[in-house]
Amino acid sequence: MENAGLQNVENKTLLDYATHKLKKENITINIQNITRVNWDKIGTQLKEKLIFFLRKKRNRGKLMREKWLKEREKDSVRTQMFYAKKGIITGEMEYVAKVENLNPEFVRSEVARGRLIIPANINHKNLKPMAIGLASRCKINSNIGSSALSSDIEKEVEKAKISQKYGADTIMDLSTGGNLDEIRAAVIQASEVPIGTVPIYQILHDLGDNIEKLTIDKMLEVLERQAKQGVSYFTIHAGFLLRMMPEVAKRKMGIVSRGGSLMASWMLHYHKENPFYTAFDDILEICRKYDVSLSLGDSLRPGALADASDTAQLGELKVLGELTLRAWEKDVQVMIEGPGHVPLNQIERNMKLEQEYCHEAPFYVLGPLVTDIGAGYDHISSAIGATIAGWKGASMLCYVTPKEHLGLPNAEDVRQGIIAFKIAAHAADIARGRKNARNIDDEMSDARYNFDWNKQFELALDPEKAKEFHDETLPQDVFKEAEFCSMCGPKFCAYKITQNIMDDQESIQEIIKENEESEK
Ligand code: SF4
């Protein structure tokens, strides 16, 4: 059922584009473009051709990684960092270099240094390699997952597909309800992007929601089970230590990370050190075996502006820096998780401290939200913070949906969150001066100035939404050629008025001459 999730998707321009390409027997069709085709409106023959190309392209991706993995199957260690340190450029590194427009040797050296990670579990064979780090484009993560109150495999697979359709670079399956192994297997199978998890959720689920039953053996068993399935990165809360508890007591909001609060319960119950910290070396062995990257979690991220950048948060960050060095020694790739709720004026400092304490390992931030009062619109309050974070040093932005703090997001919330964060990441790429980042914006400006409405829809981050809004008032085809939209109408369209002025080259030349003379 290749096209089951692609029904009812409107985009005539992309259909035209695909038709044109097919006519010329050119098969370089972009999967994202194909997914936007209106499947209801195309003939059976063309539909079959499109599906054929789509399948071929997907299989090509699958075979591509299978081949690389086969070539390395007898190696004792198979992490990207291991190869990078040995001076070997893997297929994954080459692929990333191509996508990111970077030199493969540079990608290798960044992976070896730990500044760039390629989360790619050896068992996720249909994965398309991607990189997280300052040398590459700013990435976004989408969180999906069931809860005890709502668990359905199909719904999670749908969220995974929507996440990819709108451009999520990684997906975290944060399921806590239903059959977690089955949900995860289905999500991994439906994803070409790396899948991350927070294993403590499954550990707790398996323990009947009683954290006091947690043992290191159980912890490692779940980690290995998930690694075997193909999870490409684990969020583990290993940097939150017993000695930090008094700092938590001083806070307005205490601990807002689910994993962090569970660790606190366990540590307080047993008066023992955090088991993820105690068993860190064993965890590294599992990560090394399957090439699972570590996303070192910030249990003490601030959940309120009042708690931002406090001793608890920064104390944990320093421990994450120590753990980073230990992971690198074992050739395990690492990124660091960051806040949270942070006032706008503190974001830049937070990015700099992470670089300093964590030896430039990629920073993966949740938001951050720049105000606590955006309930219902927290995708906006967090995208504002994420833009600054991406500009000042974060490598990946974890999206926030409008349901944040209020409920479990549905597929539409996922879409809203992703688009908000695609905007943030793209704005950050432009601000950092990443190569060619602004090209698409310049193309959009040309399309706007030339009233090329279909091109505008095509270039938008959410083409369907752009078309839907345009067509709300001017749906007829004739208005796709109109030199105005319903915002200002035909008489007050500023672009049109400007075009008319610019057409009067005689007057413009006269003004240029007058200016030159007055400057003499
Ligand atoms: S009518 Fe106004 S909003 Fe619409 S294209 Fe012209 S200037 Fe832009």
Count CB atoms within 10 A of the CB of residue 83. Answer: 22
Nearest CA residue ID for atom 4, ligand 1: 485
Ligand 1 pocket, mutate which of 456, 493, 496, 500 (most atoms under 8 A from CB): 493
> Does pLDDT of 6 surpass 60?
no
Full residue range of the structural domain in which residue 4 is found: 1-74
**Alpha helix stretches (DSSP H) within 166-310:** 180-189, 199-206, 216-229, 245-249, 258-270, 275-278, 280-290
Is the CB of residue 471 less than 8 Å from the CB of residue 454?
no
d(CA 234, CA 253): 25
Domain membership flag for residue 442: no
Q: Across-strand partners of 338?
A: 365
Q: 359-369 pLDDT, tens per residue? A: 999 999 999 99
Q: What is the mean pLDDT of residues 24-41?
A: 53
Ligand 1 in reach of 469 Cβ (< 6 A): no
Say how far apart CA 184 and CA 202 lie, in whole Å. Answer: 11
Angle ∠(441,444,446) on CA atoms, nearest 5: 115
What is the pLDDT at residue 88? 98
Six-digit token string for 303: 């959940």
Give the total number of structural domains in the chain: 3
Ligand 1 center from residue 495 Cα (angstroms): 7
C-alpha of residue 485 to centroid of ligand 1, in Å: 5
Q: Name which residue sits closest to atom 3 of ligand 1, judged by CA.
A: 487
Residues 160 and 207 both lie in one domain: yes
Looking at 50, 74, 98, the residue that finishes a domain is 74
Please identify, among 24, 49, 74, the residue that sits at the C-terminal boundary of a domain. 74
Ligand 1 in reach of 487 Cβ (< 6 A)? yes
pLDDT above 90 as % of the chain: 82
Structure tokens at 288: 């090394």
Ligand 1 pocket test target in 456, 474, 495 with most atoms within 8 Å of CB: 495
Does 165 fall in a domain? yes
- Are 365 and 276 members of one domain? yes
CA distance 263 to 266: 5
Residues 275 and 374 in one domain: yes
Helices (H) and strands (E) in the chain, counts: 23, 10
- Residue 54 pLDDT class (50, 70, 90 cuts): low
Alpha-carbon radius of gyration of the chain = 25
Q: Residues 416, 463: one domain?
A: no
Q: Is the confidence at residue 26, as pLDDT, over 50? A: no
Q: What is the pLDDT of residue 46?
A: 65
Is residue 117 classed as helix, strand or coil in its secondary structure? strand
User: Are 400 and 510 contained in the same domain?
Assistant: no
Task: Using alpha carbons, select from 390, 385, 389, 259 the residue that is nearest to residue 316.
Answer: 259
Q: Using one digit for the tens of pLDDT, what is the confidence trace for 332-352?
A: 999 999 999 999 999 999 999
- Report which protein residue has its CA nearest ligand 1's atom 6: 493
Phi then psi for residue 176, to 5 deg, are -130, 0
Residue 56 confidence (pLDDT):
62
Is the full-model pTM beyond 0.85?
yes
Higher-confidence residue of 518 and 138: namely 138
Task: Encode pLDDT of 215-225 as tens digits.
Answer: 999 999 999 99
Distance (Å, rounded) from C-alpha 215 to C-alpha 279?
10
497 CB within 6 A, ligand 1: no
259 and 393 co-located in one domain: yes
426 plus 387 within the same structural domain: yes
Mean pLDDT value across the chain: 90
Helix (H, G, I), strand (E, B) or coil at 330: coil
Which atom, in ligand 1's list, is nearest to the CA of 489? Answer: 1
Beta strand 132-133 with 116-117 is antiparallel
Fill in the DSSP letter of residue 73: T
Where residue 323 sits, what CATH number does that domain have?
3.20.20.540
pLDDT digits (tens, 9 = 90+) for 389-416: 999 999 999 999 999 999 988 889 999 9
pLDDT at 27 over 70: no
Please check whether residues 329 and 197 belong to one and the same domain: yes
